[in-house]
Amino acid sequence: MIASGKGGTGKSTLAVHLGGRLAALGQRVLLVELDSGLRSVDLIAGACGRTVYDLEDIFCGRCEADKAVVESPAFPGLFLISAPYSGGEIRPERLRRLTERMADSFDLILLDTAAGLGDAFLSACAAADRALVVVQPDPVTCRDGRIVADSLFDAGIAEVRLILNRVAGVNPIRDLDECIDTVGAQLIGVVPESAALAAAAAAGRPLDGRESAAAAISNIARRLTGEQVPLTIR
């Protein structure tokens, strides 16, 4: 599961591009969007207009789960289940059953939660075995990231990792070690502020591999698959 305390940390953009990099490494990846009413993953993944059914249609029995799965045209090997445009209720047991059903068809399932500690977060906790907490290097998101991380540990998720996103040359917190200490989770990656990444997300296309943000996301994907990749921060 990919979580954040505050909205606007770039969590959904990271979820899509991380899923895309995992797919490029040979993984068959399903990304399930849980942010009902604030749908964005289909746009970021270049799949807008291709989705006929969504997560609520599955839960309400209007379609089988595989009917709601759409492959991203921008990221081959990355498949999506979108959140509904409005309404919808995420319940832990429903989500757990869905992920168990889909586990035979995919190597990895990513759950893009809504920001905060609401129903989507609690349901993802019931289904996930690992978690990524996305924060920006500022006091508010780091403090809220600590609350999220503590909630994940309390839910029994032992492997909680931190992604520092949108790290620019000048940040409210200059020492990234302070961010790590505040959140209280092991760092798995640092993604620099990137206008190119924002533009790619808005256009629903991959990020140029020469961009530093692309390299950072690729390294996170490699670490998630068990590869030992040194952590370098510029």
149 burial class (0-12, 13-18, 19+ CB within 10 angstroms)? buried
Q: How much is the pLDDT for 114?
A: 92
7 phi-psi bin (left φ>0, alpha ψ -120 to 50, beta other):
beta
Q: How much is the pLDDT for 171?
A: 60
Helix pair 212-224, 195-203: axis angle to 10 deg = 80
Q: How much is the pLDDT for 174?
A: 64
* Residues 18/220, Cβ–Cβ less than 8 Å: yes
Instruction: Tell me: pLDDT of 232 over 80.
Output: no
Q: How much is the pLDDT for 150?
A: 97
Report the pLDDT averaged over residues 35-49: 90
Q: How much is the pLDDT for 39?
A: 85
Q: How much is the pLDDT for 99?
A: 96
pLDDT confidence of 136, banded at 50, 70, 90? very high
H or E element, residue 76: none
Report the pLDDT averaged over residues 77-97: 91
- Mean pLDDT, all residues of the chain: 93
Structural domains of the chain ordered from first start: 2-224 (3.40.50.300)
pLDDT confidence of 129, banded at 50, 70, 90? very high
Report the pLDDT averaged over residues 183-207: 95
pLDDT confidence of 37, banded at 50, 70, 90? confident
Instruction: Tell me: pLDDT of 170 over 60.
Output: no
CA neighbor of 77 nearest in space, from 19, 18, 14: 19
With b for 16 or more beta-carbon neighbours within 10 A and e for fewer, the 115-147 pattern comes to bbbebbbbbbbbbbeebbbbbbbeeebbebbbe
Write down the residue that tokens 């505050």 correspond to. Answer: 6
Q: How much is the pLDDT for 172?
A: 59
H or E element, residue 151: helix 139-154
Report the pLDDT averaged over residues 188-194: 94
pLDDT confidence of 192, banded at 50, 70, 90? very high
Helix pair 119-127, 139-154: axis angle to 10 deg = 50
Instruction: Tell me: pLDDT of 194 over 90.
Output: yes
For the ranges 26-35, 174-183, 215-224, the lowest mean pLDDT is seen at 174-183
For the ranges 82-86, 99-103, 144-148, the lowest mean pLDDT is seen at 82-86
Q: How much is the pLDDT for 107?
A: 97
Q: How far is CA 140 from CA 94, 113, 158, 188, 198, in A?
A: 32, 19, 24, 20, 22
Q: How much is the pLDDT for 233?
A: 60
Q: How much is the pLDDT for 234?
A: 55
